[in-house]
Amino acid sequence: MGELLGIVFTDGDYWKEQRRFALRHLRDFGFGRRFSLTEQLLESEVKSLIDFINSVPHPDDHDIHRKKGRVLIPDLFYGPLSNTILHMLVGKRFEDKELRTVARSTLRFLRSIDAAGRALSITPWLRHFAPEYFGAKPLIEENRRLQDFFMNLVEERKKTFSDDHHGDFIDTFLSRMQKLRDEGAPLGTFTEMQLIWVMIDFFFAGPNVTGATLNMLFAHLCNYPEIQVKVQAEIDGVVGRSRLPNLDDRNKMPYTEAVIRESLRMDPVIPVNTPRRCLKDTTLGGYEIAKDTTLLISLWSANRDERVWKDPNVFKPERFLDDEGSLLKKDNIVSFGGGKRLCAGETFARQTIFLVLSGLLQNFTFEPVDGAPDLDGKKWGFVCDLPAFWVDAVSR
């Protein structure tokens, strides 16, 4: 069995040390807090999206851009979302087409987990007899492709690394490794493979969680165009058309934020949280849970619990507003998990979703090409979202 690395699938002291280190130093580059350089980067990516949609398609982009204004969601977002996190991890911007390839690789990896997970976790020897049928082969191939992408970035950085300059997360991690070596101390959890898998964990969330969330959000807007009109009216009233919305506008746009919250509530793209291990014998809700029991928590069920939500199966952004139209302070949704294992990227994801949504709706009205996406046609698995769909972005 392979060693567990990264942050998402580790626990105990290993997880504590690596999560604390990653969040402490990624904050220096704008992750999870207000940071002018990161906000400028996000604004630049939104501007690039707007220009891309308004342009005549380049042949290399026909996979997501058929004609001026006609684009494929969520693949449209893969490049910008990936670049925002990669900027903090490796300090450089990549071509969107290259990142679409990497993002689709991560999605195939997740779908392979869905196909292979149940059978191979119970009977792992099946991978030797029918690797294609049980999903083992694509799982291994995509795993290797992802590792190679980030391993090459690490190897490239090692050639120019200087402990005098920390411009991104790779520099910071390599610096810690160098310090341990200089002190003659064991590396412990600070290994190159750990660095690679921490970066993969944070990268995954860009296209596959934030991207899938935007996919569901725009699917709702295509199904409820009247809500799209209300969001646009709020943007026009608060921001106007002379500049893009920014994070200072967020608390002045309660309806836009309520729409985002309602989409997160109805369709958490991680419907069942990653497995949790019970650290000691305990009880929960009258049930006895033994130490080392694996727990699977249904975020989907919690977000549609009739004891908490009135009409939980109805898309109703107003549930997050008071009688005066102000945003309620607490939203009660658990789409990002909770407790000590709360998703490390929640703040960054919410900020990114707001900026992308408001920036695009300020400039376009989105109309589905082949009819509104079927909201019941989701692909269920580790990530739950709709198949990609084409929209016409009509300039306002």
3-class DSSP state for residue 323? coil
Amino acid at 243: R
Please tell me the distance from the alpha carbon of residue 389 to that of residue 370, in angstroms, as a whole number. 8
Q: Which of 222, 187, 230, 220 is nearest to 372 (CA)?
A: 222
3-class DSSP state for residue 289? strand
User: Residue 20 has which token pair?
Assistant: 């604390």
Which residues are part of a known binding site? 343
Q: Which of 280, 275, 326 is nearest to 297 (CA)?
A: 275
Please tell me the distance from the alpha carbon of residue 191 to that of residue 193, in angstroms, as a whole number. 5
Instruction: Please name the residue ranges forming H helices in the chain.
Output: 12-26, 36-54, 75-90, 96-122, 136-160, 169-182, 192-205, 211-223, 225-238, 254-266, 299-303, 346-363
Please tell me the distance from the alpha carbon of residue 84 to that of residue 38, in angstroms, as a whole number. 8
CA 233 to chain centre: 28
Return the residue matching tokens 């196909």. Answer: 115
Q: Are strands 282-284 and 70-73 parallel, antiparallel or unpaired?
A: unpaired
Find all residues with CB under 8 Å of 70, minimum gap 6, and list them: 369, 390, 391, 392, 393
Please tell me the distance from the alpha carbon of residue 237 to that of residue 362, in angstroms, as a whole number. 11
3-class DSSP state for residue 58? coil
Query: What are the respective helix, strand and coil percentages of the chain, to the nearest 5?
Result: 55, 10, 35
Which residues are part of a known binding site for heme? 343
User: Residue 110 has which token pair?
Assistant: 């997740």
Compute the half-sphere exposure of residue 31: CA atoms within 13 Å on the CB side of its CA: 25
